[in-house]
Every structure is written in C-alpha cells, then in structure tokens.
Amino acid sequence: MTAMLRRTVASALLATVAWGAQAQNLMDDGKKLFTQTAVPACAVCHTLKHAGATGEIGPVLDELKPDATRVEKVIRNGLGQMPAYSTLSDAQIRLLAQYVAAATQ
C-alpha cells in the first residue's frame, strides 16, 4: 500500500470514528433533553422506545416517525395540547428534533 493510500485510509477511518462519536453524542444528549431537560419533559406525554418513555397523552413517536423538520416546528410552535418550548435554546431544539427523528427511524 502506498503512503498516499495509507493516509487516505487512515483519514477515512478517523472520519468514521468521529462521525460515530457525534452520532452517539446526539443520541445521548437528545435522550437527556427528551427525558429530563425540557420542562415539561417530552417523556411525560410521548412514548419513545429509545428514551424508555411511555407517555400516553401525545402521539406515540415510534409509530408517527416524524422527520426533524416537523419535530422542530412543533417544539417551537406547539400543537394541540403540546406547548411551545420557548425555554429551550435554538441549539437544544435542533438537537431534540434530530434525536426524535433518528430514534424513530
């Protein structure tokens, strides 16, 4: 294997490891937002298997399988009985939306 090919393979492996760590952080941090940080916690109302949530008020997210754009819009604006989460930062809202979308796919 040439030196250039070794560097390319090494770079690809490092990128894969970094992406895996980012994905794990998304899932860990998103789960914490879903179950603890958001007030009221999403888990109080929604069922989401990944988060161990069994709420019975809102939709079962595992069945709904919403995309991140839809989740973000609902978190920001509320829908039906669900309030808008104005206490969460933009970054937290995006992370929570990405988490729900990823956890339900």
40-76 tens-digit pLDDT: 999 999 999 999 999 999 999 999 999 999 999 999 9
pLDDT of residue 19: 44
| DSSP state, residue 83 | P
How far is Cα 105 from Cα 93, in angstroms, rounded to an integer? 19
pLDDT of residue 24: 77
What CATH number labels 23-103? 1.10.760.10
13-46 tens-digit pLDDT: 444 444 455 667 889 999 999 999 999 999 999 9
pLDDT of residue 26: 87
pLDDT of residue 17: 44
Instruction: With beta carbons less than 8 A apart as the criterion, state whether 15 and 8 touch.
Output: no
Residue 2 confidence (pLDDT) above 90: no
How far is Cα 75 from Cα 83, in angstroms, rounded to an integer? 8
How far is Cα 94 from Cα 11, in angstroms, rounded to an integer? 28
The mean pLDDT of 4-14, rounded to a whole number, is: 52
* Range scoring the smallest mean pLDDT among 2-11, 61-70, 90-99: 2-11
Domain residue ranges of the chain, discontinuous segments joined by + = 23-103
Q: Return all residues near 27 (Cβ < 8 A) that are at least 6 apart.
A: 50, 99, 102, 103
